[in-house]
């Protein structure tokens, strides 16, 4: 799993690629915590190049989301591949995460929060 | 057989509504003056469908005869007929204006009023002169209608006449003032400002509204004077108008009112969804320190338009502490519907500790609320909610149980594995899937062991859920049980096991794939084809090739789809070969696959294809050729 970090305005954009499993989950948590410690609470994850997520990967995502919430931040996701979307549906995480079709839409949403 | 117009008129008098409907339909096709007269008669039919068809048919027609006939109907004693005629005339629009103007001086004042109303709704400026004359009609109702109509037409030339009428015919003043606002000319501002001193509140209110519409800055001081008017309605309208005129940027507007009154204005603005007030409220931090004010807005949450709710959510995020505290205080007294709406806001304000407080309402009579609360506490991630969720997992309503299981999964508590495992045997599939999804979320060795045991459960559904879950858990530990599950006696289990294996990077057992590819069940074969292509791209083409000539076209199509995932010249060649398949469905699948693969080398072969009279194949070929040409 590779995690590329970029800033888009005041939103930290994490572009993930590869398999999001136990090992990658640890790396993801570290990256998000670093961003939070640097004062960036608005985080977007582009999952375009993620081709696999398992339980541990999902656990890591829920865990970082909780950390972000505790710090009054916000996290969005975009570009879910078919399989990734399938596991999000199975685990009903579509209710938990704010998921957008594209990164642009997700980043624009930080400008204007609307009802879920 | 074609019916004569006489016969159609006879049919219009038939007792059978269906025949009358048919007659109207046929008369509409004739489109002559006589037939129009017949359809106009049908406007008075006792049957609603006949009247509706007559009305729709007439609205499509044009011509003086029609307008004249309809205008006559404006004097009908039957109010329904009169309204219908007016409605059709409005739909006819400008073409009816000249004919209608003749009726502005009708002897019957009701007809005059109706004609003026209709002309106003049509909104054609050619009627202005006649309507201006109607401003001085002997009947005050006609005068009021004329003033309204001039407002709708909005011609700047009528400002003077409207001011004169407002002054001389007091009963028509509200309509005249409103019309001045609609016209939007600066020349009316001074007069409207004078009206702000009227004793009659209706005139003041209407003038304020009109000034807001005109939007001239010179009336701003007058509007600010009204912000503390003893009529809240007038003051609120003045506030809205002042904000609109100042484009929401003038701090002075907010500073001209007391904090309490400002809160009242904002509350009204939220209820009505007034843009300028909502924007002002969002940037005014002070008002959100007032808990009573927040509570008064939240108590109206069910009647707030979406824009207002959205602003409220944004503000709530900013002032989360005060909002969370207020919502939790009022939550107990709120109705179930109101609680549901409040949860939307609480979701953006609460921290796990605060959110736990709502769990005491998880016994509410409303199952929708119980389900929503279960999801809410799961989303908030408070592990202390586990007991409440465990109780809701035994709720008599399936949706609530499903919500409780989903929430348990989000909390990720291993201690809840036994409860979730019990949920796998629920009578409803949604609940079973929710329990399975939650166990996938929790993952870990215990869950894997439980699902591995379930692969030989005496209930086939449990076997299917287990195989599916193990696939999603996706750790190396699931490799062995899933491989075993491929040998299940149940096709559904074999299929999901194959699908699960396709997600594992560490699966290298091609022999298992070969067995599955030769399975007796088509769906297992198809899953195995996908697995072969993904995990064994070198070996798969040789095996998948045999399916390209399968008697079952769907197996052939699936083989093409699987092969198209392997990017090699061999697979392109194989798929190109399928373009010659005797079945067009396979040819279409092959064409689309080649386009998907960007196989530009096959362009020549695609161009040579003859789709015959099969439009779908023709379309697929055209699209594929276009896509590949663009790639070149």
Nearest-Cα distance to chain A for B413, in Å, is 11
**B41, B104, B108, B179 from B114: Cα distances, Å:** 19, 9, 10, 18
Kindly report the average pLDDT of chain A as a whole number.
88
Residue of A nearest to B353 (CA): A70
Structure tokens of B202? 């209706």
- A66 CB near a chain B CB, below 8 Å? yes
Is the model more confident about B349 or about A94? A94
Helix (H, G, I), strand (E, B) or coil at B20: helix
Any chain B CB within 8 A of the CB of A82? Answer: no
Q: What is the mean pLDDT of chain B?
A: 88
Q: Which of B65-69, B214-218, B223-227 has the lowest mean pLDDT?
A: B65-69
Contact B297/B270 with Cβ under 8 angstroms? yes
pLDDT band at B59 (very low <50, low <70, confident <90, very high): confident
Nearest chain A CA: its distance from B578 CA (Å):
27
Nearest to A55 among B317, B344, B474 (CB): B474
| Interchain contact, A115 vs B309, CB within 8 Å | yes
At residue B181, does pLDDT exceed 60? yes
Neighboring chain B residues of A69 at a CB cutoff of 8 Å? 351, 381
Q: In chain A, where are the structural domains located?
A: 2-111
Say yes or no: B275 contacts chain A, CB-CB below 8 A: no
The three-point CA angle B131-B133-B136 to 5° equals 115
What's the pLDDT tens digit per position in B415-441? 999 999 999 999 999 999 999 999 999
Which of B25-39, B243-257, B326-340 comes out lowest in average pLDDT?
A: B243-257
Measured CA to CA, the distance from residue A85 to residue B491 in angstroms comes to 25
* pLDDT tops 60 at residue B72: yes
Other CB atoms within 10 Å distance of the CB of residue B95: 16
Q: Rounded CA gap, B575 and B202, in Å?
A: 79
Distance of CA B420 to the CA centre of its chain: 35
**What mean pLDDT do residues B310-315 have?**
88
Residue bearing tokens 């870990």? B444
| A19 shares contact with chain B (CB less than 8 Å) | yes
Q: B271-278: which pairs have CB atoms within 8 A and are 24 or more residues apart? A: B271/B300, B271/B303, B271/B304, B271/B308, B272/B305, B273/B304, B273/B305, B273/B306, B273/B307, B273/B308, B274/B240, B275/B307, B276/B240, B276/B243, B276/B244, B276/B247, B276/B248, B277/B239, B277/B240, B277/B243, B278/B307, B278/B308, B278/B311
pLDDT bin (cut points 50, 70, 90) of residue B12 is: confident
Which residue in A56, A59, A113 is closest to B317 by CB distance?
Answer: A113
Which band of pLDDT confidence, cut at 50, 70 and 90, is reported for residue B36?
A: confident
Are the CB atoms for B526 and B558 separated by under 8 Å?
A: yes
Longest CA pairwise span in chain A (Å) = 34
- The beta strands (E) that lie in B324-377 are given as none
Flag whether the ipTM exceeds 0.95: no
B76 at interface of A, judged by CB pairs closer than 8 A: no
Q: Which CATH superfamily is domain A2-111 in?
A: STAS domain (3.30.750.24)
Lowest mean pLDDT among B126-130, B221-225, B258-262: B258-262
Q: From its phi and psi, is residue B445 left (phi > 0), alpha (psi between -120 and 50) or beta?
A: alpha
Query: Is 90 exceeded by the pLDDT of residue B91?
Result: no
B415 within 8 A of B442, measured Cβ to Cβ: no
At A3, which helix (H) or strand (E)? strand A2-8
Smallest CA–CA distance from A67 into chain B, residue: B381
Residue of A nearest to B376 (CA): A96
Residue B553 is encoded by which pair of tokens?
């076209």
- Residue B356: pLDDT above 90? no
Average pLDDT over residues B208-223: 89
Q: Which among B351, B440, B505 has CB closest to A90?
A: B440
Alpha carbon of B480: minimum distance to chain A alpha carbons (Å): 17
Looking at the complex, does the CB of residue B605 fall below 8 Å from at least one CB of chain A?
no
Q: What pLDDT digit, counting tens, does each position of B444-475 carry?
A: 899 999 999 999 999 999 999 999 999 998 88
Strands of the sheet with A2-8, listed across from one edge: A2-8, A11-20, A42-53, A74-78, A98-100
B contact test, residue of A92, A113, A114 with most B CBs within 10 A: A92
Q: Does B306 contact chain A (CB < 8 Å)?
A: yes
H or E segment and range at residue B472:
helix B460-473
pTM (global) more than 0.80: no
Burial of B540-566, coded b for 16+ CB within 10 Å and e otherwise, reads bbebbbebbebeeeebbbbbbbbbbbb
**Phi and psi, residue A114, nearest 5°:** -125, 175
| Interface check B611 vs A, CB under 8 A | no
Mean pLDDT of B525-543: 92
Instruction: Indicate the DSSP class of residue A75.
Output: E
Average pLDDT over residues B564-569: 92
Give the residue extent of every domain in chain B. 539-632
Q: Does A83 touch chain B (CB under 8 A)?
A: yes
Judge whether B213 and B181 are in contact, CB under 8 Å: yes
Measured CA to CA, the distance from residue B57 to residue A21 in angstroms comes to 66
- Inform me whether the pLDDT recorded for B60 exceeds 80: no
Contact of A38 with chain B, judged by CB distance below 8 Å, is answered with: no
Q: Give the integer Cα–Cα distance in Å for B235 and B240.
A: 9
- The minimal CB distance from A54 to the residues B310, B314, B474 is found for B474
Chain centroid to CA B361: 30
Q: Are strands A74-78 and A98-100 parallel, antiparallel or unpaired?
A: parallel
CA distance B422 to B457: 13
Residue B235 contacts residue B227 (beta carbons within 8 Å): yes
A62: nearest CB among B309, B375, B412: B412
Q: Which residue of A has its CA nearest to B318?
A: A72
> Are B31 and B57 a contacting pair, CB within 8 Å?
no
Q: Is residue B367 scored above 50 in pLDDT? A: yes
Nearest to A91 among B440, B444, B474 (CB): B440
d(CA B516, CA B520): 9
A/B interface, count of CB pairs below 8 Å: 87
Distance from CA of B255 to the nearest CA of A (A): 27
Interface touch A95/B379, C-beta < 8 Å: yes
Minimum CA–CA partner of A18 in chain B: B505
Greater pLDDT, B505 or A103: A103
- Pick from B548, B568, B614, B611: which is nearest to B625 by CA? B611
Higher pLDDT, B505 or B66: B505
> What's the CA gap between B565 and B542, in Å, rounded?
14
| Confidence grade of residue A71 (pLDDT, cut at 50, 70, 90) | confident
**pLDDT band of A116, cuts 50, 70, 90:** very low
Which residues have a Cβ under 8 Å from the Cβ of B139 and sit 6 or more positions away? B109, B112, B113
């Amino acid at each position: 799993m590779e995690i590329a970090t970029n800033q888009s305005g005041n939103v930290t954009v994490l572009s993930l690629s590869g398999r999001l499993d136990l090992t990658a989950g640890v790396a993801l948590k570290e990256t998000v915590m670093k961003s939070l410690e640097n004062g960036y609470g608005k985080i977007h994850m582009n999952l375009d190049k993620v081709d696999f997520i398992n339980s541990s990967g999902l656990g890591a995502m829920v865990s970082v989301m909780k950390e972000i919430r505790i710090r009054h931040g916000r996290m969005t996701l975009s570009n879910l591949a078919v399989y990734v979307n399938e596991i999000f549906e199975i685990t009903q995480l579509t209710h938990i995460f704010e998921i957008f079709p594209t990164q642009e839409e997700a980043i624009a949403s930080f400008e204007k929060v609307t009802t879920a | 057989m074609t019916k004569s117009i006489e016969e159609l008129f006879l049919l219009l008098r038939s007792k059978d509504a269906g025949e009358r409907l048919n007659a109207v339909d046929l008369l509409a096709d004739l489109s002559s003056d006589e037939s129009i007269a017949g359809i106009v008669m049908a406007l008075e039919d006792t049957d609603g469908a006949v009247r509706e068809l007559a009305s729709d048919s007439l609205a499509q027609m044009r011509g003086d005869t029609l307008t004249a006939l309809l205008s006559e109907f404006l004097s009908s004693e039957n109010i329904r007929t009169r309204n219908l005629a007016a409605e059709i005339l409005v739909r006819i629009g400008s073409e009816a204006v000249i004919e209608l103007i003749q009726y502005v001086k009708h002897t019957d004042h009701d007809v005059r009023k109706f004609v003026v109303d209709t002309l106003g709704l049509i909104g054609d400026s050619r009627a202005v002169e006649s309507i201006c004359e109607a401003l001085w009609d002997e009947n005050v109702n006609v005068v009021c209608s004329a003033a309204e109509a001039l407002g709708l037409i909005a011609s700047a030339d009528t400002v003077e006449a409207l001011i004169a009428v407002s002054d001389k015919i007091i009963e028509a003043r509200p309509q005249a003032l409103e019309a001045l606002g609609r016209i939007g000319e600066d020349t009316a501002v001074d007069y409207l400002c004078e009206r702000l001193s009227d004793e009659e509140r209706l005139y003041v209110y209407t003038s304020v509204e009109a000034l807001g519409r005109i939007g001239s800055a010179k009336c701003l001081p007058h509007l600010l004077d009204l912000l503390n008017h003893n009529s809240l309605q007038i003051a609120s309208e003045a506030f809205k108008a002042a904000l609109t005129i100042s484009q929401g940027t003038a701090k002075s507007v907010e500073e001209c009112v007391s904090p309490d009154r400002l809160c009242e204005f904002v509350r009204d603005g939220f209820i009505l969804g007034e843009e300028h007030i909502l924007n002002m409220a969002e940037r005014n931090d002070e008002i959100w320190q007032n808990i009573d004010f927040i509570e008064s807005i939240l108590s109206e949450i069910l009647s707030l338009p979406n824009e207002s709710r959205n602003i409220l959510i944004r503000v709530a995020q900013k002032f989360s502490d005060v909002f969370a505290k207020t919502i939790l205080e009022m939550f107990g007294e709120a109705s179930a519907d109101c609680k549901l709406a409040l949860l939307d806001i609480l979701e953006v304000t609460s921290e796990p500790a605060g959110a736990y407080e709502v769990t005491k309402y998880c016994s509410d009579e409303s199952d929708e609320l119980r389900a929503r609360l279960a999801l809410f506490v799961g989303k908030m991630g408070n592990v202390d909610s586990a007991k409440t969720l465990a109780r809701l997992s035994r709720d008599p309503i399936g949706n609530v149980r499903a919500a409780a299981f989903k929430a348990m999964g989000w909390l990720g508590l291993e201690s809840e594995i036994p409860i979730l495992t019990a949920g796998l045997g629920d009578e409803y599939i949604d609940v079973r899937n929710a329990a399975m999804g939650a166990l996938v979320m929790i993952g870990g060795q215990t869950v894997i062991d439980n699902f591995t045991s379930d692969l030989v459960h005496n209930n086939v559904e449990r076997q299917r859920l287990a195989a599916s879950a193990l696939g999603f858990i996706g750790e190396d530990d699931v490799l062995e049980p899933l491989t075993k599950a491929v040998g299940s006696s149940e096709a559904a289990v074999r299929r999901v096991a194959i699908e699960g294996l396709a997600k594992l990077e560490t699966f290298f057992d091609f022999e298992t794939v070969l067995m599955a590819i030769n399975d007796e069940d088509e769906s297992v074969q198809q899953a195995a084809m996908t697995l072969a292509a993904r995990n064994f791209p070198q070996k798969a083409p040789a095996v998948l090739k045999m399916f390209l000539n399968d008697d079952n076209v769907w197996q052939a199509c699936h083989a093409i789809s699987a092969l198209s995932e392997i990017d090699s010249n061999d697979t392109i060649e194989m798929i190109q070969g399928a373009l010659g398949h005797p079945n067009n469905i396979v040819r279409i699948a092959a064409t689309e696959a080649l386009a998907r693969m960007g196989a530009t080398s096959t362009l020549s072969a695609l161009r040579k294809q003859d789709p015959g009279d099969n439009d779908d194949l023709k379309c697929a070929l055209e699209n594929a050729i276009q896509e590949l040409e663009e790639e070149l």
